[in-house]
Amino acid sequence: MDKDNTKKLGHVVHIDEGKLRGHLDEMVRGTVEQTLNDLLDAEADRLCNAPKYSRSPDRVDSRVVST
């Protein structure tokens, strides 16, 4: 009398590796881009001796880039 009371559940969780990899790539790319932009802004602040968009009578140049 071998009775098997367990049920096979099959695929309960399905992970699409391609979508997961694409999402992670996008998140990493965005994080790296934001970090690099923050570093560049900090370097520009240091070089200009003023934060972006600040006004000072001692400073003649502007950090704003015209297109």
Kindly report, residue by residue over 31-62, the tens digit of the pLDDT. 999 999 999 999 988 888 778 877 777 666 66
Percent of the chain topping pLDDT 90: 40
- Residue 3 pLDDT grade (very low, low, confident, very high; cuts 50, 70, 90): low
The secondary structure element, H or E, covering residue 20 is helix 17-48
Residue 54's pLDDT is 79
9-19 pLDDT, tens digit per residue, is 676 788 889 99
Residue 4's pLDDT is 62
30/18 Cα distance (integer angstroms): 18
Query: Model's pTM, two decimal places?
Result: 0.57
45: nearest Cα among 34, 56, 31:
56
22/56 Cα distance (integer angstroms): 45
